[in-house]
Amino acid sequence: MRLILASTSPRRREILELLGLPFEIIAPEFDEVSSSDCAVEDEVLDFAIGKALSVARHYPTSLVLGSDTMILINASKIGKPDSTPEARRILRLLSGKTHRIFTSVAVVDGSGGPGLKIIEEVSVKMRDYSEQEIEHYLSCNESLDKAGAYSI
């Protein structure tokens, strides 16, 4: 059976490649619209399912994997920054604090069946870091395609 990764994330591609299984990548047609009324656990899973289903409906005989990551700090949900100033703001917010990372994975088939749905949660304590360190990290151009504006 054909396996499709519904993602444009280079990191997700790298992770799936570690399994040694053949797969294709198709960018999902799904808009991630956050809602303050939705719990982070529900939203991160809804986004993964939405991404997978947006691709699966075009490939009814395939398994499609969607995923999403979101950060929770001070009751605020944080996804990918949409600009360098936003990434800077997020990195400043996270400095010296503990936050929770939620990652979801959904596997669906082309019929839209219930499939597999998983959410993992971890806590990360960031050390205090300086403005100079933030600027250096931003200059590496790794912040804009990652929830929380960083990668570990």
Tens of pLDDT, residues 16-41 = 999 999 999 999 999 888 888 899 99
pLDDT in tens, 29-84: 998 888 888 999 999 999 999 999 999 999 988 999 999 999 999 999 999 999 99
In 79-149, at which residue ranges do the beta strands (DSSP E only) sit? 98-109, 116-125
Annotated catalytic residue within 68, 82, 109, 145 = 68
What pLDDT does 114 receive? 66
The encoded tokens of residue 98 equal: 């503990």
Contacts of 72 (CB under 8 A, 6+ apart): 40, 78, 99, 100, 102
Q: Which CATH class is domain 2-149?
A: alpha beta
Q: Does the structure show a pLDDT above 90 at 123?
A: yes
Domain-wise residue ranges, the chain = 2-149
- CB proximity list for 132: less than 8 A, separation 6 or greater: none
109 in catalytic set:
no
Q: What is the pLDDT of residue 112?
A: 64
pTM over 0.85: yes
66 forms bridges with which residues in the sheet?
A: 106
Evaluate if residue 113 carries a pLDDT over 80.
Answer: no
Mean of all residue pLDDT scores within the chain: 93
| Tokens 């400095």, residue located | 95
Identity (one letter) of the amino acid at 41? Answer: E
